[in-house]
Amino acid sequence: MTKFILLAVASVALAAPAFAGDPAAGENTFKKCKACHSIIAPDGTEIQKGGKTGPNLYGVIGRAVASDPDFKYGDGILAVGATGAVWDEASLATYVADPTAWIDGKSGDASAKSKMSFKLASGGEDVAAYLASVAK
């Protein structure tokens, strides 16, 4: 019976998606994001001062897609948000690699576009881990 339990636990562990971004590396990579995004806590503390072209990314992990009330989102990401989608580290990492492709895939609309034209070729997992770490 013990062997069966260990086998079952091992199977579940192997089947679970692995997500292992590095928050310290993500903080460094976030420098590329600061041109458009800031990270400002609800109390006004500036964790990362940045631009206002994109939404504030404080608390983005665990937040509904396209839900920052202070930002005017494009139609494509609003359509994804309307499905009830919530940002997790994996979805954010995929989004920043190719925002329009992510929106197309999630919305099912091949003509949907993203207002975010920047693509983060590498380090998206790290940025997502960093963003998750600063809002705890």
Helix, strand, or coil (residue 69): coil
Sign of CA dihedral 64, 118, 135, 69: negative
Q: For 92-114, what is each residue's pLDDT tens digit? A: 999 999 999 999 999 998 898 89
Q: State how far the Cα of 124 lies from the Cα of 126, in Å rounded to an integer.
A: 5
- Does the residue 6 lie in any domain? no
pTM of this structure: 0.83
Q: What is the gyration radius of the CA atoms in the chain, in angstroms?
A: 17
Domain with 54, as residue range(s), is: 19-134
Domain count, the chain: 1
Q: CATH number of the domain that 28 lies in?
A: 1.10.760.10
Q: What is the pLDDT of residue 136?
A: 75
**Do 73 and 98 touch, CB atoms closer than 8 A?**
no
Q: State how far the Cα of 41 lies from the Cα of 114, in Å rounded to an integer.
A: 25
> Mean pLDDT across the stretch 19-45?
94
Q: Position of tokens 């590095």?
A: 22
Q: What is the pLDDT of residue 38?
A: 97
